[in-house]
Structure 1
Amino acid sequence: MKFELQHTDPRSQARAGLITTAHGQIETPIFMPVGTLGSVKGVHLYELKDDIEAQIILGNTYHLYLRPGLEVLERAGGLHKFNGFDRPMLTDSGGFQVFSLSGIRKLREEGAEFRSHIDGSKHFFTPEKVMDIERVIGADIMMAFDECPPGNSDYAYAKKSLGLTHRWLDRCITRFNETEPKYGYQQSLFPIVQGCVYPDLRRQSAEFVASKECDGNAIGGLAVGEPTEKMYEMIEVVNEILPTDKPRYLMGVGTPVNILEGIERGVDMFDCVMPTRNGRNAMLFTKDGIMNMRNKKWEMDFSPIEADGASRVDTLYTKAYLRHLFHAQELLAMQIASIHNLAFYLWLVGEARRHIIAGDFSTWKATMVKRLSTRL
């Protein structure tokens, strides 16, 4: 993988770059739609590529390991061949999913034992096994196995957890280096910075991660219950240390405003289930603010969903029609909303990139934050 830093904003840490992988290029800053089970919920492949214009999507190691399972994925030739998406993909390590199963998992130095949320069967993830699983899935970018502590963890627990994450990272790197890709193209490994909301732990973790000189680096353990301002503070702390010549990925974040704030602080890559999850619940993100499509105010509004929207569905359908679909519980409502929101998120990071290159990102961002926070 190659990363080229192309432009920096003169008034902030915002950056525009280009990531080159075996499956294509990614212009940063970028938003990555979440395809947990190899599918972005409610969205066809052609819509994902041609309407939403996704440059990279995510898969989830934990979920894909449980189903369809590694035998199916390997016989298919990896996830790219299995789901037909021929552009770059990233897999998270499954760590967040495993550790969210707090009632049915046991954590020890060797790894994490857990029970499947599907059938209760017992499984054991070690750093080595996770690397092997991600080799089978075949994503262009593989995430290291880490522990994601709760946002309200006390200092003692956060410090202990960080030590374990760092030891696991060393084992991930060793296993990654002693194995080969399965499908004839190279994969990259991204370590994850942890440390909860404690600046000294975050600095320690960022320094440790940076010293590994991997192809890119991630910031994890944020947007898990801590105050928003604390999240922004931790991003600043970490990005003072992470190398500028490698992409920086903020995991699981967030709202459109969160993304702009992250870009301003030097983040290049984002993912979040919010566009599709909120879309399925009738919340639309637009250039002028947030719309609840179940509200009565849209009942007789026959104007387009968004006149200058980022996707074709914005002009194909009216607000009144979309409201009707949600009230009638038609599946098409969730599909339209998901496509709209994902296209909007991709439009937003694309506009951020354009303004970084133009040199006026900070001015544009200040205006957009006010607009995006409005309830319509």
Structure 2
Amino acid sequence: MHIEDFDFELPRELIAQRPAQPRESARLLEVCPNAGLADRRIADLPECLRPGDLLVFNDTKVIPARLYGRRNEAKVEVLLHKPLSPSENDVDDQRLCWAAFARPAKRLRPGERITFAEGFTADILQKREGGELILAFSMTSEDLSQALNQYGEAPLPPYIDRPQGADEQDRHDYQTIFAEREGAVAAPTAGLHFTQDLLAKLDERGIERCGVTLHVGAGTFLPVKASVVDEHRMHSEWGEISPAAARRISNAKEAGRRIVAVGTTSLRILETAAATSGTVEAFSGDTDLFILPGFRFQAVDILITNFHLPRSTLFMLVSAFAGLDRMQQAYRHAIAQNYRFYSYGDACLLHRGGDA
């Protein structure tokens, strides 16, 4: 398939700049099993699902991973996106290392130092293909976490217009109610719609839930440059499914209950660990699973997800899940009906490939 197969025109005014308030008031476009479309609200979700469905959410927590510093007198913006073990950094250095992107990156060289604040610096160990940097910090993970909380800001995606950078409201808005495990540099945005009131109503309906982890990386914003999409190299992200979560998911599948993934990140980690029977194994490690039309889904029956960028790996994923023609129809409807797009926007409720 070619990149043009996943293209569409989106009016810029439909890109949401703030989330709906309250969050469950956001719109929800249900792409129904019979290929029909239904305009709903997130608050309608309990009625859209069945008692016994298992909701699987991503419990990752966004860290303030965007930093502003200097290389000598030149200003540098850095976005951390993945911590690296000593075996991953290709350099004999035992310090705390992170992969990162920087702007401007062209003049940055290995051996140089970026200063963010007094006592808070990073050494450039390596410059990889595509401009990715490997940075070394002379501090512990705990000290780096404190420094990020003091000097970093929420790593909002580039389509959210904040000339002065993310603000305090974004620190709250760009975090899901499920957030527990620090490590993401982009929010699992489908989870942004959930509130305690909505969870209580789901409980009353008899809809169960459990958590998995996928630390979303900055690579989620990288464009697909290959004209033939299966030549694209997918970014890797670290994830984990605990043995207890794997048992709950597998038991639900064996009992014929539906698995509802909250977001593409939950879906990717579930399908990474899924067997052909639909059961899910415990998992801990990196995944670079790239889902295109033709992919055989094993675990997930229903997907809750926001509206994605044209030509993106995420639009390819939802097209694989619900069908490219159905998703093109759904997006045309959403644009015509002024749905709000992207991270702070509205959502879709997708049934897999027309399944009931």
Which has the larger share of strand? 2
Q: Sort the TM-score into its range (normalised by shorter chain).
A: under 0.3
**Which protein has the bigger helix share?**
1
